Each structure stands twice: as C-alpha cells, then as structure tokens.
A = this chain, B = another copy of it.
Amino acid sequence: MDSATLHKDIDSFFDSAPPLKDSAKITDKLNQFIQFDSPSSEGKARVVCVTSGGTTVPLEQRCVRYIDNFSSGNRGAASTEYFIRAGYKVIFLYRRGTCQPYCRSLPEDPLLECFELADASDFRVRQSHSEAVKGAIGNHHAAVAGGLLLKLPFTTIFEYLQMLRIIASSMRSLECRAMFYLAAAVSDFYVPWKSMAEHKIQSASGPLDMRLMQVPKMLSVLRTEWSPMAFCISFKLETDSKILLEKANMALKKYKMHSVVANELLTRKEEVTVVTENGNISVCRDKTRPGSDVEDPLIELLVNRHSTYIKDAST
C-alpha cells in the first residue's frame, strides 16, 4: 500500500471515530506526568508507553454487541512492573478490567476472595492472601505516588488509537528516551462508525452477514510521524507456529520496528522470540526459579537494547 492511500485510510478512520471524551484532560495528565522528573534522573528519565489488553470493535452505535480481541493483560502488567524496577516511568494504556501491575497474583475477585469476616462488624484479609494484598496495594501506591506510573484505560479500538496518538505526540519531545511497548491485542477489522447500525441488529430471520473493514496500520505513522525518534517494540501473536516468525519478520520491516516480540498462544508464558534486524533472540522463563516469568528477562533485554539505541543516537 502506498503512503497516500495509507494516509487516506487513517484520516477516514479517525474522521469516522466517535470523538474521544476528556481528550484535553488526558493531554494535561500526560504532560504533567512526563514533565515531572525526580531529582535523581537529572532530566534524563526514560518513559515507556506500555499498551495492554485487547481492543473492542462496536457493531452498533448504541453499543450492545461488539467484537473483542482476547487478552488478559498479564504481559502488559508484568512488563510494567519490570520497567518501573529498571527506572522507567510507565504510561500504562490498558483495557478496562484487565490485569493491573502488582496485582497478578491476586484471585479474580480480590475483595470477595481475599477478605473474610472478623466478627459481625468487621473484616480482615485472609492469612493466605495477606502478602499478595499487601504487595499489590503497597507497590501500586508507591509507583503512582512516585510519579512512575500513569494509568489510562480504553475500551474500543477508536479510543485506543486516539489515545495512542495523543500519547505519542506528548512523548515526541523525549526523542530517543521514549519507548513504545505495544503489547495490546489490537483489532484488525472494524466497522466504520458512520456505516454502523444505529440500533440493535435484529435477529428476525436467517443468518447474519457482516463485512468488516481493515483497521489501517498505524504502526508506520507512529514510527515515522507521531514519535519518530522513539524506540518501538511491537508484538506478533499467532496460534500457528509455522507462520509466526515469518509474520514477525514482515512486521519488523514493514513498520520499521526496532524489535518485534513473536509469541505463540500456547507457549507465550514460557518463551518468546525477539525478532530484530540482526537476527532472532529466544527469551525463556527461568524455569529453575518458581514463580518466575518470561517478562523478567524480556524487559532486561529490551532495556539494554534501548540503552544502546540512546547511546548510538547521541554519538
């Protein structure tokens, strides 16, 4: 696809999107977060935008039905923790209701499962969940209060891409200290808002035929226009291992990513492959350490590569 056609598709996507609520407020929050610098960072703080969870595609304007891309958000939440540990400030752009940083070891419904009645008028945390609850609240509050974590929720593909564009513009001034870690599961197809049924689709008779348009690939414009100096990592998830690396390689070249993290649905928690211009690097969970995860070595690798990238850019 040539650049003119891509730009036309992108314009028509954004033109057809319902306007983002609170976009001025989001921009303010972002600028405040990015400008706030701890004394120790000497104005050289690195900022990463971690996207997490799946986007939805509404099928009706008054949204009852939508197509959803499944993602627990576990990878984004885990990676956020490791980026913060490495000294990064994290803009966590996440799907509402998905996994939150420092909360990965909590049960699905923490309030009802982690607490019990102490007596008729009081409750307490269950002994078995005490450490997990304390860690979640403590680490989370410390990260937010310390200016290291800004959380921004989305639901639809329209919200996600509009917010990503605002974030990229805000991060542009950070130049090579900015990083994008695009772990969200983004819809490939959408129904343009204006051609969408206003009311609930009726199920009166027969099968339902739907035609979905391709979401224009925003990765190219993120790289070349929105935040051209940022270090960019995208993800490729496939269920079929045979086509995975080939598709990751295609994405690397097509969108000019600095790395593409290739992962297969069934083994994604054990192993990923970091695909780069200079070859592939396999990253595995440290199986000798109970409770370890693949995001730990993955973020270490990417932080090192980002350091090299910053060094190369300044020489």
Contact = CB atoms under 8 A, between A and B. Distances in A.
B137 A121 contact: no
Contacts of A240: 199-200
A239 B108 contact: no
B64 A67 contact: no
Contact of A65 (B70, B111, B137, B138): B70
Number of copies: 2
Interface stretch (A36-44, A211-219, A277-285, A286-294): A211-219
Contacts of A201: 188
A117 B137 contact: yes
A65 B67 contact: yes
B209 A209 contact: yes
A136 interface: yes
Nearest to A140: B112
A47 interface: no
Given A68-B67, A70-B63, A189 B208 contact: yes
A240 B199 CA distance: 6
A205 to B, nearest CB: 8
Contact of A238 (B115, B141, B199): B199
Nearest to A242: B199
A34 interface: no
Given A62-B265, A117-B141, A240-B200, A103 B111 contact: yes
Interface of A: 56, 59-60, 62-70, 96-97, 100, 103, 106, 108-112, 114-117, 120-123, 133-134, 136-138, 140-141, 185, 187-189, 198-201, 203, 206-214, 237-240, 265-266
